[in-house]
Chain A
Amino acid sequence: MSINTDMAVRVTAITQVAESVKRFRFERLDGKPFPVFPGGAHVVVAWKDGGMIRRNPYSLMSAPGDTSAYEISVLRVEKSRGGSAFLHEKVKLGDTLSLSQPVDLFPIDQRGRKHIFMAGGIGITPFMAMMDQLSKLNQNFELHYAVRTRTHGAYWQELTERYGAHRVKIYCDAEKLFIPTEPLLGAQPLGTHLYVCGPGGMIDGVLGTARKLGWPEENLHSERFLAPPPGAPFTVKLTRSNKTVEVAEHQSILEAVEAAGVDAPFMCRGGACGQCETNVTACDGEILHHDHYLPQADKASGKKIMICVSRIKGKEITLDL
């Protein structure tokens, strides 16, 4: 099922919003309006980098109802040999890239009577759009936002101005201020929903505390900005396309397969959506499951793999692709 609905866009503004964070504004080449998107959605941004095509997911952080442009904010990852370095250093005004349709894996639960957002660092991006949407619907929300230093933290000033200090609380590591997770989560009215986005350790910590305090699972939401981890190279055999592909140290299986000209389905490229689930025919090593989609039983069975983030420790894996 491949109808191409990607949108060709031009970079119309680049703004340094904090140390290591740049905002990119995109407008469509065909002049058409962008689709409205739900707060929390991301797009996959694709562009040519030398001979390869890079595809990274980024949360949309502009106003969801603004169809004239989409905006993303990108943290320059320190050890990036990949996408964020390119976006920060090579992309210029007027350059063209391609965006997928928006996909929301971090939706607002519309039944919530109150919404608590907890952001760490660049994890603020999906909440920018969610807060814009909720404030226009006059709904009740609070943001608790942890930043390393005031100069590293993006948008904390304008968010405080826009929504008021009663709804936006900033916690700065450098000032020894941390989100008081336990008292905060212990004192919420029934029907409150919690959303966390930030470093993996922060998400695990907050969700762990919420569960300990008896929060129902349906009220807990999180999104991880997972990138495919590097690892030793290995070989992938594709039974349906009848190809053998080498996966390099810094490549995911998905990227290697795409580079070999095989179209594999994907949506998030971050181990969350389930779209790239692939059946394993044979594997002479151990599958390193990095996704948070497959149920434990499927991971243990060795019969399935999420090729956007997982790899193997071993020589060769055979996939039904």
Chain B
Amino acid sequence: MNIKFKQETFRDDFSFQNSPEAIRRFPFPFHEDKYMYSVNMEPHVPGSKGHAYETLIDVDEHYISEMADRAKVLKEDPLRCQALPHMMQAQWDTLELLMEQMAEGYPDLFTLTRQADQWHWINRPLNIDQKFTFGDVTTLPCEPMEYITRQSQGDFCIVDQRDNNLWMDAGIATTQADWSLDFDIGMNFMEWHGPVPLAHQMGVFERALKFLLNLQQGKPVRRLNWTMTINPRLDTSPENYHKWGSDRMTVTPENVGQKVHLRCELQSLWRLPRSNAILFVIRCYLLKMGELVEVPKWGRRFPRVLKSLPPELVDYKGLTRFRDMTVEWLSKYDDGKPTSPGIYPD
């Protein structure tokens, strides 16, 4: 794997864009021409080459720039990274898991060597060479979850399992689609899922909770979630709503291709070995409408999906202001031909 890392921004001048390879590896979340909210979990096993599923913890061309963006967010708002005191073992579990997966998936970029509890971590893209004692916080520059997630794309929640429920007791969130770690920390599963419309009526969360309580070690699962974002902004947090809320007003028929992004979250869930907690990885991918239509199947499918969305979901996902304009722009690329099943490009 030869990744050409980009220098780009997710704020101010928004220079982010995807290379042709990055477009084709985008985890497109619609397997048919319509969308229904569902829990749709599947085993998180390595997928085909050249797709975001190729390795279980994906590193792509945006890695270095995303890590720089995370550092900026944390500098402005340290509360984006929090862990309750009883989560220390789960933090070490998380560090181990991410280091193991990255070193295994990208041996040319990351190396992990272990002699009992004496660990040596090399991260070449970020120029990091760290020796430390596993289990001893004083041998790292910061706590283990923060340490490793400053080097891993995506947001991370560590969820403790007690009393037949799951508790959001640690996490780092700088690329989140409008949810707040500072608000959710310490909450249980039902509480933090409070506001999704329709889903409750369908008993979706009860079933999801039951499923996750029995999530097994060695058998991670994944699902895709999606929304849309104006400008390639990673940090669309409620805390910063004043910075991005008004972006929605700036969409015009001329700039849809450049400004409107499909935002896909690849969520993977892992049972952690020492703490019995669950690591929830929420990895965000952005795709411009102009990039999406480079894949003819997606160019046909996405306007059909957008058109058929129930109005509550349009509101909930915050698409109201620009959905029709986007459908209109995309319809040039929909020649009405049938699409093949599944998410992959033809």
Contacts and interface: CB of A to CB of B under 8 A. Distances in A.
Contact of A218 (B87, B160, B162): B162
A133 interface: yes
A194 to B, nearest CB: 14
B200 interface: no
B274 interface: yes
Contact of B217 (A3, A101, A108, A274): A101
Contacts of A110: 86-87, 89-90, 160, 275
Contacts of B111: none
A270 interface: no
B210 interface: yes
B163 interface: yes
A111 B274 contact: no
B101 interface: no
Contacts of B124: none
Interface in A6-56: 35-38, 40-41
A5 B89 contact: no
A37 B93 CA distance: 11
A109 interface: yes
Sorting the interface of chain A by its residue count into under 10, 10 to 19, 20 to 34 or 35 or more gives 20 to 34
Contact of A109 (B41, B162, B216, B273): B162
Interface in B103-141: none
Contacts of B208: none
Interface in B32-59: 41-43, 45
Contact of B275 (A38, A101, A217, A218): A38
A3 B45 contact: yes
B194 interface: no
Contact of A101 (B41, B161, B218): B218
B214 A273 contact: yes
A210 to B, nearest CB: 15
B193 interface: no
Contacts of A111: 86, 162
B41 to A, nearest CB: 8
Contacts of B276: 38, 40-41, 104, 107-108
B217 A35 contact: yes
B213 interface: yes
A275 interface: yes
Given A110-B87, A137-B89, A267 B216 contact: yes
26 contacts: A1-B41, A1-B42, A3-B43, A3-B219, A35-B218, A35-B273, A36-B273, A37-B217, A38-B275, A40-B276, A64-B274, A65-B274, A101-B216, A101-B217, A102-B217, A103-B216, A107-B276, A108-B276, A109-B162, A110-B87, A110-B275, A218-B163, A267-B214, A273-B214, A274-B213, A275-B214
Given A37-B273, A38-B273, A267-B216, 18 more contacts: A3-B43, A3-B219, A35-B218, A36-B273, A41-B276, A64-B274, A65-B274, A101-B217, A102-B217, A108-B276, A109-B162, A110-B86, A110-B90, A133-B274, A218-B162, A267-B214, A274-B210, A274-B214
